[in-house]
A and B are shown apart, each in its own frame.
Chain A
Amino acid sequence: MASPAGRIRPGRYLGFFVLIVVVAYALVFFTGGGKPTPKLGIDLQGGTQVTLTARTPDGSAPSKDSLNQARQIIETRVNGFGVSGAQVVLDGNNIVITVPGPQGEEAKKLGQTAKLNFRKVLDSAAATAPPTPPAPNSAGATPAAIQQAMAVRQAPALVTGSGDSLAAASTAQQALTAFTCPSQDPLQGNDDPNLPLLACNQDGSQKYLLGPVFLPGTEIADAVASPPSQNQPGWTVNLTFKSAGSQTWADFTSKNIQQQAAFVLDTQVVSAPTIQSAIVGGNTQISGSFTQQQTTDLANILKYGSLPLSFTPSNAVTVSATLGLASLKAGLIAGAVGLALVFVYCLFYYRLLGVLTIVSLAFSGLIVYAVLVLLGRWIGFTLDLPGVAGFIIAIGITADSFVVFFERLKDEIREGGRTFRSAVPRGWARARRTILASDAVMFLASAVLYAIAVGDVQGFAFTLGLSTVLDLIVVFLVTHPLVAMASKSKALSNPKLTGLGGVQHVAAERRARKAAAAAVKEA
C-alpha cells in the first residue's frame, strides 16, 4: 500500500462517493426528459412479448445476416401497426418482439414468414378437412419432420422436363391421392421453390399438385387491401409487380389460358384462380376467403417483404396491466422484506458495525436506482421480474463484502491483539483482496450468463452483475471509510457498541497467557 495503515482520509472517499451520487441523480433529473423511473419490462407493466425462433429446413444455425434482415422486416411490420414503444431485438437465434400496453395482440401474428410464391397448378383433388382444432404441436417441426415432408411432398419425380407438366400420370396421381392435408404443416414457409409441391388450400378442402415456382414473391412491388366491389364479392389484395415480375406474369398468363395458377403463401394455397386471359400491365389480385383484417394484414406483410427465414413462436406472453402491477408489488415487497431481515440480523450480530452495514446498503440502493434509470435511457435496459430477483439475491452478496471485512477485523483483534482502531487498516488491506476475488467470481458468473443465455435470464444476470460492480464501489468508498471513522471516535469504538468486546477479551486472555509463559521463561 502506498499510504500506510491508518492514514487514509475517510472524508475524501465519502466525498467522492457523494459526488458520484450527485452526478448520477443530476443526470437522472436533468437529462432525458427527467422522468425518474426505470424502464419496466412487460411482466411488470403489462404488455405482449413474442419470442420467435428461427427454423431452418436442415436444423443448421441461421446466418446472422438473415436474422438481422428478418429483424428489420419485423420492425417495419410492427411500425406498420402504429403501436408506440414497441421493440424488436435479436437474442441469439430468436427475435423478441415486445409491445407494451394492451394493444399487443397483433404482435403474435408478426412472425409469419409471408413467402408468397406463384406456382402452376398441375392437378388437384378434393380433400377431407383435417380434424379441428388440433393442438399445434410445434415440436413436429423438427428438422427430421421437415426433411421427411420434403421427401414426400417435393419429390422431383412428380414432374417432368422443366416442371410444367405432370410425370407419368399414375405416379403423380398416386402421390396426390395418398397425400392428406396436415393439420400443422412442418414445411410451412420452408418449401424449396425449385421443386414441385403437394399442398392444400387454407381450409384443407382442396389439395393440389403444383409445379416449381415460376414467379417469386420478391417480384412484388406493392400490395394494397381492397374492399369488396361488384366484381369482387370478398376482400382482395391487389398486387403490383416489379418490371421483371410483370413480364414473367404476362408470359405465364398468356401461355396458360384456361389453366390454374396458385398463389402459395407459406406453403399454403391461398387462391388458385383460373386464368381467363393474358394479364399484362403488372397488376393482379389475390382473392381468398379473407376478412377485412386478414387482407389488411396480408397486404401489410407482403408490402414489407417476406422474411428470409421461417419462424415459430416459441413463447408468446400477454401480461395484463393488473398482473404486471401485482408482480411489481410482489417484487418490491420481497425486496423490502429481504432488506429488513438482513438489517435485523446485522444489527443483532454486529451492533454498530451492523448500522454501518445498513447505511452502506442504503447507499448501495440509492446508486443502484440511479444507474437503473440511466441504463434504461442509455441502453434501453428494462427491469423485469427476474431482474428484480437478481437485485434481491444481490443484497446477500453486497452484505457479504461487509461480513468479510468485519470478520477480518475480528481476526486482527483476536490474533494480533490489536485495538479496534489499529485493526481497521490491516484488516481492510487483507479483506480487500478477498472481496475482490469473490466479486470477480460472481461477476464472471453473471457476465457469462448474460452473454450466452437467452430469454428472461438476461435481466437476472444483468442486475446481478451490476450489483456486484456497485458493491465494490460502495464497499471501497463508503463502508471502509465509515468503519475507519468509527474506529477513530472514542464514543463509537466502545466495545459495547461494536460488539468486539468478546474478541478483545480473547486477545487479552492470550496476552495474559503469553505473559505467564514469559514469566516461566524468565524463571
Chain B
Amino acid sequence: MASETKGEKDSIFHRLYVGTGAFDIIGKRKRWYIFFTALVLVCIAAIGVRGFNFSIEFVGGTQIQVPGQGSHGVITPAQASQVFASASGTQPSSAQTVGVGDAATVQIRSQALDQATVTKVEQALFQQLQPLGANGQPSQQSISDSAVSASWGQEISQQALIALAVFLVLVTIFLAIYFERWMALAALISLAHDILVTAGVYALVGFQVSPATVIGLLTILGFSLYDTVVVFDKVKENSRGLLGLTRRTYAETANLALNQTLMRSINTSIIGLLPVIGLLVVGYFLLGAGTLQDLALVQLTGMLAGVLSSLFLATPLLVDFKMRDPKFRQQAERVRARRANLARKAAERDAAEEDFDPTDDDALESELRKEKAYAAAASAPARTPRAHQRRGTRPSGKRRR
C-alpha cells in the first residue's frame, strides 16, 4: 500500500491526527466478525451461567442511611447493624460505610420492613448513636431511609423495555428515511451487539444491576447509534455516484469513510468518556453505590462497546449487505477488470521499456522523471493510489502511440 512507506515515517498518532491513517478495516472484516461472534457468545454464556446481581429495587427491601459522624465519634457499620438488629428483630443483610470525610454515611440494608418498624429503628439509631445532622447537632432527621417493593424495579425495567422497543422502531424509521434500508439494518445489528455486550459485562463482572443501569443502557443506545450515524453519513457522502464510476469499490469507499471518521470517533469517545469517568470516580468516593455510579458505570461499558461496534461491526456489515446487491457486485467487478487492465498495460509497458536505449539522452531523462513521479505516487495515501498510478501510466501510453 502506498501509505505504508509514509506510516514508517510518521507515528501512528500523527497518522490518526491528520487522518491519513489508512487502516484496512473492511478488508479484514472476517477477523472482526470472528472477534465479535466470540465476544457475543461469551457474553450470552455469562448471562446464562452467572445471571445478574440485582439491586434492592428488584428484590425489594429497606435501606437506612445514617451519617458517619455521631456525637460519640465515628459510627461503625457494626454498631449500626447491632442497633438495627435489636430494634427491628431482623438481621440486616449488609451494613457498610460509603463515601469519605464529611460525606461518609453508614448504609444498612435489610429485607423489607413496615413503616412502624422503620420508625422504631430510626429512633433507636438516633438515641444510641446520636448521628450529627448538617448543622452539627444530633438529629433524627439526619437519618435517611428508603423502602422499595419487590415489584418496583420490575415496573421500572418493564417500562424501560417498552421504551427500548419504541425507540428501536422510531430509530429504524429515522435511519431508513435518513439513510437507507441496509444502513438501518447494520446499525440495528450493532445496537443489538452493544446491548448484549454491556449486559454480558455486567453478568461477568457481577456489577449491580439497578433500574438506573437499565435506563443508562437506553441512552448508550442513543450514543452508539449517534456514532454510527456519523460514520454512515461519511460513507453516504463518499459513495455518491459510485455506481457510475470505476474508481473504487463500495468496500474501499466505506473503508475510506471509516478512516476519515476514525479520529472523530476516538475523540468523541474520549470526550464522552471523560465526564463519565469523572462521574464514576466522584460518585464512588462521595456517595458510594447509587444512582450516579450506576449510570456512569453502564455508560462507560456501553460507550466502549458502542464505539467498537460502530467502527468495526456496523460498517463491515453494511459493506456485506450492500454487496448482496448485484449492482454493487457488478461495479466491483468492473473496478477489478479495469485495474487488471491497467496492471496488464503497465506490465506490458514495463516489458517494452526494458530495452530503452540509455545512450539516448532524451529517453533517459524522461525515464528518470517518470521514476521520480512513480516514487512520489508511491507515498500517496491509500485513498487514491490507483489514481496516481493512472496518472503515471497514461502519458506513457500516449507517448508510445
A residues contacting B by CB (< 8 A) are: 43, 46, 51, 53, 92, 94, 102, 105, 108-109, 133, 135-139, 312-323, 325-327, 329-331, 333-335, 337-342, 345-346, 349, 385-386, 388-389, 392-393, 395-397, 399-400, 403-404, 407, 410-411, 414, 430, 433-434, 437-438, 440-442, 444-446, 448-449, 451-457, 460-461, 464, 502-503, 505-506, 510, 512-513, 516-517, 519-521, 523
How far, in angstroms, from A72 to B300 measured CA to CA in the complex?
A: 42
Q: Least Cβ distance of B132 to chain A in Å?
A: 8
How many pairs of residues, A versus B, come closer than 8 Å at their CB atoms? 322
Q: Are B221 and A400 in contact (CB under 8 A)?
A: no
- Given A51-B152, A133-B113, A455-B211, decide whether A520 and B391 contact each other with a Cβ distance below 8 A: yes
Interface-located stretch among B40-48, B73-81, B259-267: B259-267
**CB of B317 within 8 Å of the partner chain:** no
Closest residue of B by beta carbon distance from A414 = B19
How far, in angstroms, from A213 to B39 measured CA to CA in the complex?
A: 63
- Given A393-B295, A395-B275, decide whether A523 and B283 contact each other with a Cβ distance below 8 A: no
**CB of B270 within 8 Å of the partner chain:** yes
Q: Are B267 and A397 in contact (CB under 8 A)?
A: no
- Given A442-B222, A520-B391, decide whether A136 and B114 contact each other with a Cβ distance below 8 A: yes
Q: Are A346 and B291 in contact (CB under 8 A)?
A: no
Q: Mark B146-186, 1 if CB is under 8 A from A, else 0.
A: 11111110011001101100110011001000100000000
Residues of B near A331 (CB, < 8 A) are 292
How far, in angstroms, from A523 to B141 measured CA to CA in the complex?
A: 91
Residues of B near A340 (CB, < 8 A) are 278
Most buried by A among B117, B141, B219, B233: B219
How far, in angstroms, from A305 to B178 measured CA to CA in the complex?
A: 54
How far, in angstroms, from A346 to B162 measured CA to CA in the complex?
A: 38
Most buried by A among B18, B114, B270, B275: B275
Q: Are A392 and B275 in contact (CB under 8 A)?
A: yes
Residues of A near B370 (CB, < 8 A) are 520, 523
**CB of B369 within 8 Å of the partner chain:** yes
How far, in angstroms, from A14 to B268 measured CA to CA in the complex?
A: 26
How far, in angstroms, from A510 to B292 measured CA to CA in the complex?
A: 49
Contact of B119 among A105, A456, A457 (CB under 8 A): A105
Residues of A near B90 (CB, < 8 A) are 133, 135
How far, in angstroms, from A460 to B260 measured CA to CA in the complex?
A: 33
Closest 4 CB pairs of A and B: A338-B275, A445-B222, A396-B272, A337-B278
Contact of B151 among A314, A403, A437, A520 (CB under 8 A): A314
Interface-located stretch among B23-31, B224-232, B353-361: B224-232
**CB of B67 within 8 Å of the partner chain:** yes
Q: Are A520 and B392 in contact (CB under 8 A)?
A: yes
A–B complex contacts, Cβ < 8 Å, 27 sampled:
A138-B112, A139-B150, A315-B152, A320-B143, A322-B142, A326-B103, A327-B287, A327-B292, A329-B103, A329-B286, A334-B279, A385-B292, A392-B275, A400-B226, A400-B271, A430-B237, A441-B174, A442-B222, A444-B222, A445-B167, A445-B222, A449-B160, A453-B163, A460-B215, A461-B219, A503-B19, A513-B388
Most buried by A among B17, B18, B212: B18
Q: Are B170 and A444 in contact (CB under 8 A)?
A: yes
Q: Are B103 and A314 in contact (CB under 8 A)?
A: no
Residues of A near B145 (CB, < 8 A) are 316-318
Closest residue of B by beta carbon distance from A464 = B219
Contact of A313 among B149, B237, B287, B291 (CB under 8 A): B149
Q: Are B267 and A502 in contact (CB under 8 A)?
A: no
Q: Least Cβ distance of B231 to chain A in Å?
A: 10
Residues of A near B17 (CB, < 8 A) are 502-503
Contact of B89 among A92, A109, A133, A430 (CB under 8 A): A133
Contact of A330 among B88, B230, B283 (CB under 8 A): B283
**CB of B309 within 8 Å of the partner chain:** no
Q: Mark B278-321, 1 if CB is under 8 A from A, else 0.
A: 11011100110011100110010000000000000000000000
Contact of B219 among A139, A333, A338, A445 (CB under 8 A): A445
How far, in angstroms, from A454 to B282 measured CA to CA in the complex?
A: 26
Closest residue of B by beta carbon distance from A435 = B230
Closest residue of A by beta carbon distance from B164 = A448
Residues of A near B291 (CB, < 8 A) are 43, 385-386, 389, 456
- Given A386-B295, A452-B162, decide whether A139 and B60 contact each other with a Cβ distance below 8 A: yes
**CB of B395 within 8 Å of the partner chain:** yes
Residues of A near B275 (CB, < 8 A) are 334-335, 337-339, 341-342, 392-393, 395-396
**CB of B51 within 8 Å of the partner chain:** no
Residues of B near A519 (CB, < 8 A) are 369, 373
Contact of A506 among B20, B103, B114, B279 (CB under 8 A): B20
Q: Are B166 and A342 in contact (CB under 8 A)?
A: no
**CB of B85 within 8 Å of the partner chain:** no
Most buried by A among B230, B234, B394: B230
Q: Least Cβ distance of A35 to chain B in Å?
A: 21
